[in-house]
Amino acid sequence: MKPGQPLFRSTNWLGLWTLYMKEVRRFFKVHTQTIWAPAITTLLYLVIFTLALGGGGRMVLGVPFATFLAPGLIAMGMINNAFANASFGLLIGKIQGTVIDYLMPPISAGELLSALVAAAVTRAVLVGLAVAGAMILWPGVNLVVHHAWAVVWFGLMGSVLLALIGVLTSLWAEKFDHNAAITNFVITPMSMLSGTFYAIDNLAPAFQTVSRFNPIFYVISGFRYGFLGRSDIGNTDVAVIYGAAGLGMLNLALAVATYALLRSGWKLKN
């Protein structure tokens, strides 16, 4: 075989699986920090906001406040940890000078991206299961799935969305301060202003419009729709389906852009 001629002419499944398992084992080796600590932090949100705002039998979207809050907190925990995982791998490689370990193996840019995103989604799902398991036991929370497709779709698409943003951040960032800036000034505000802790119907019309430009709003509301059978995306089930389709198209566009940057070696092959 001539030098530079690719050995794998189709998908390198073994390489993809190996990189995926490497990324999973990386976060699972410190699972107390990457899975259980975020789950406990998310549960504390439920405790604090329920005690602060849920008194007096407060109802939101026709259900008790704790039941309204729980699905949104599960989704928020999932997407935040998907971003945290995806934004770390390439960045730490660039800082430590080991990014070559991602670039030298015989895997394509698409396989590299798939492995990084899949590992981030795996962490997100594990955090979501841990949070949901704790919330089921919490007094006043009634987690009953009304639309399983919405729970799965919005949970996975939300995790994929933040994983892709995490990979983009990891490509762009050159030090941990850059990563922290995206987390503190982009991801956290978008998460907190996504309708996790309130229904946007309570906002002024102008702020409702702003909320509808926040993609995380559709993740939170769609995921909540799966449990409650109602959502503040719109008054009909069709509105939720449109939100699901829009989220899928946004992920597709981000995936194409991220793939193009990875393939070009932007900030990786300097």
Question: What are 107-135's pLDDT values in tens digits?
Answer: 999 999 999 999 999 999 999 999 999 88
What was the pLDDT predicted at 220?
96
- 1, pLDDT greater than 60: no
Tell me whether residue 4 is in a domain. Answer: no
Tell me whether residue 1 is in a domain. Answer: no
With CA atoms as reference, report the closest residue to 69 among 214, 198, 203: 198
Rounded Cα distance between 61 and 191, Å, is: 20
Residue with more model confidence, 140 or 219:
219
What average pLDDT is seen over the chain? 90
Over residues 131-154, mean pLDDT = 90
Residue with more model confidence, 34 or 8:
34
What was the pLDDT predicted at 62?
84
Tell me whether residue 159 is in a domain. Answer: yes
Tell me whether residue 189 is in a domain. Answer: yes
What was the pLDDT predicted at 30?
92
Residue with more model confidence, 3 or 267:
267
Tell me whether residue 181 is in a domain. Answer: yes
- Count CB atoms within 10 A of the CB of residue 143: 15
What digits encode the pLDDT tens for the residues 44-65? Answer: 998 888 887 766 578 888 888 8
% of residues, the chain, pLDDT over 90: 60
What was the pLDDT predicted at 147?
94
- Count CB atoms within 10 A of the CB of residue 11: 13
- Containing structural domain, residue 225: 13-264
Tell me whether residue 7 is in a domain. Answer: no
Rounded Cα distance between 245 and 265, Å, is: 31
Instruction: Assign 6 a pLDDT band (cuts: 50, 70, 90).
Output: low
With CA atoms as reference, report the closest residue to 138 among 203, 69, 72, 80: 69
What was the pLDDT predicted at 11?
84
**Euclidean distance between the first and final Cα of the chain, in Å?**
28
- How many distinct structural domains can be found in the chain? 1
- The structure tokens 């959502």 sit at 231
- 149, pLDDT greater than 70: yes
Tally the residues of the chain: 270
Instruction: Please state which of the ranges 21-25, 96-100, 176-180 shows the lowest mean pLDDT.
Output: 96-100
Q: Is 108 helix (H, G, I), strand (E, B) or coil?
A: coil
Over residues 79-104, mean pLDDT = 90
Tell me whether residue 93 is in a domain. Answer: yes
What digits encode the pLDDT tens for the residues 192-240? Answer: 889 899 888 888 888 888 889 999 999 999 999 999 998 888 777 899 9
Q: Is 143 helix (H, G, I), strand (E, B) or coil?
A: coil
Tell me whether residue 125 is in a domain. Answer: yes
Rounded Cα distance between 225 and 75, Å, is: 12
